[in-house]
Amino acid sequence: MRRAQTSKLTWSDVTPEATYLNRRAVLAGLTGIGALGAIGAGLPAHAAGPYSTDEAPNTFEEITSYNNFYEFGANKTDPAKYAHALTTDPWSIEITGLVERPGTYDLADVVQGQDIQERIYRFRCVEAWSMVIPWLGFELAGLLTRVGVQPSAKYVAFETLHRPEEMRGQKMPLLKWPYVEGLRLDEAMHPLTLMATGLYGKDMPNQNGAPIRLVVPWKYGFKSIKSVVKITLTAEEPPTSWNRANAREYGFYSNVNPDVDHPRWSQASERRVGGGLFAKRQPTLPFNGYGEEVAGLYEGMDLAKYY
C-alpha cells in the first residue's frame, strides 16, 4: 500500500489551472448555502435531482433534531444539543491507499469541480425509523475518479474526525474511536452514493455530519459515516465500527432488508419520523426502495448470510 504524501496537495495538481483558480468562488457559493443557484446554475430550491424519490421530505426541524451521532451522545437529541462545539473550518480530507494521487486535500479542493445536486433520498435507520431527506452533495465516484483508483483496490474505507475535546461522546467507551466504515468499491462508485455537504439547500448542520459525510441510501443509516476526515482505498475488506463492536447484529453490508431481522427487533416495518406517536407503520422496502438500481450489485449473494 502506498503511503500518503505528507505535503498538502490541491486540485491544481489534478485539474486545469483555470478550474483550480475558480475553486474558492465555488466554496463561497457553498458557504451559508441558501443558494442552489450558486452551484446548480439556476436550479430551483429543492428541485429533485436524478434518483430522487417523489415522497415528501421530512421537515428541517425533524431532520436536524432526531439523529444518531454517538460522538455527541447516545440519545437521539444529544447531537442537536452538543454538536455546536464542533469546529468545521478549516477542514481537510486525507485520501490514501491504492490511489494515484494520495494526499491531504482542503475541503474546498475536494468540492471543487464536482457536480453538486440536491437529491431527495429515503433514509432508513437500523432501529426501524425512517426519514426522507433532501441532501445536497456530489457522487463519491467523481472524487475517486479524480484521485485515480488503482486496479488492485477493492474496497473504500472511511474515518470520522477524532476530537474528544469537541465531540463529548468520544470520551465514553460507546465504541472504539474514531468511527470507521467501509464499502465495496462497486458500491462506492455507484451513482446513488453521495458525499453530502448540506441538506435543504443549506450547509450541513453539525449534528448531521458537517461539513461532509457519506450517504448510501440503500443501506442502514450507520453506514453513512459523518464528518469524514480520511478515505482509504484498499484491497482488503476494512473494519467497520458497529461490526467490530457486535458482529452478530451488524454486518459489513447492512443493506436494508425486511426479511433479515435485527436480533432484537423486526425490520419488516418502519416508523416515519414526524408521523406522531400513533402513526401507522409502513412496510420496509428491500434496499430501502432502491432495489431496481442496486440489486444487481449482489446478484448470486445470500443476503441473509452477507447481511
How confident is the model at residue 114, as a pLDDT? Answer: 95
Q: Please give the domain boundaries of the chain with CATH numbers for all domains.
A: 8-298 (3.90.420.10)
How confident is the model at residue 48, as a pLDDT? Answer: 59
Per-residue confidence at 14, pLDDT binned at 50, 70, 90? low
How confident is the model at residue 50, as a pLDDT? Answer: 79
How confident is the model at residue 32, as a pLDDT? Answer: 36
Per-residue confidence at 276, pLDDT binned at 50, 70, 90? confident
Mean pLDDT value across residues 157-175: 97
Q: Which residues of 223-243 are buried (b: 16+ CB within 10 A; e: fewer)?
A: bbbbbbbbbbbbeeebebbbb
Per-residue confidence at 269, pLDDT binned at 50, 70, 90? very high
> At residue 146, does pLDDT exceed 80?
yes
How many angstroms separate the CA atoms of 43 and 69, rounded? 31
Looking at per-residue pLDDT, the higher value among 280 and 131 belongs to: 131
Mean pLDDT value across residues 95-99: 98
> At residue 125, does pLDDT exceed 50?
yes
How confident is the model at residue 29, as a pLDDT? Answer: 46
How many angstroms separate the CA atoms of 24 and 112, rounded? 8
| 190, 163 contact by CB (below 8 A) | no
Name the least confident of 16-20, 138-142, 248-252: 16-20
> At residue 264, does pLDDT exceed 80?
yes
Parallel, antiparallel, or unpaired: how do β-strands 8-9 and 103-106 relate?
A: parallel
How confident is the model at residue 30, as a pLDDT? Answer: 43
Amino acid at 245: A
> At residue 268, does pLDDT exceed 90?
yes
How confident is the model at residue 129, as a pLDDT? Answer: 96
Name the least confident of 130-144, 178-192, 237-251, 266-280: 266-280
How many angstroms separate the CA atoms of 125 and 166, rounded? 25
> At residue 290, does pLDDT exceed 50?
yes
How many angstroms separate the CA atoms of 211 and 231, rounded? 15
How confident is the model at residue 152, as a pLDDT? Answer: 98
Q: All 3 cell numbers of residue 186? A: 462497486
* HEC assignment per residue over the chain: CCCCCCCEECHHHCCCHHHHHCHHHHHHHHCCCCCHHHHHCCCCCCCCCCCCCCCCCCCHHHHHHCCCCHHHCCCCCHHHHHHHHCCCCCCEEEEEECECCCEEEEHHHHHCCCCCEEEEEEEECCCCEEEEEEEEEEEHHHHHHHHCECCCCCEEEEEECCCCCCCHHHHCCCCCCCCEEEEEHHHHCCCCCEEEEEECCEECCHHHCCCCEEECCCECHHHCCCCEEEEEEECCCCCCHHHHHCCCCCCCCCECCCCCCECCECCCEEEECCCCCCCCCEECCHHHHCHHHHHHHHCCCCCCCCC
How many angstroms separate the CA atoms of 149 and 141, rounded? 10
> At residue 212, does pLDDT exceed 50?
yes
Mean pLDDT value across residues 261-282: 91
Parallel, antiparallel, or unpaired: how do β-strands 228-234 and 213-215 relate?
A: unpaired
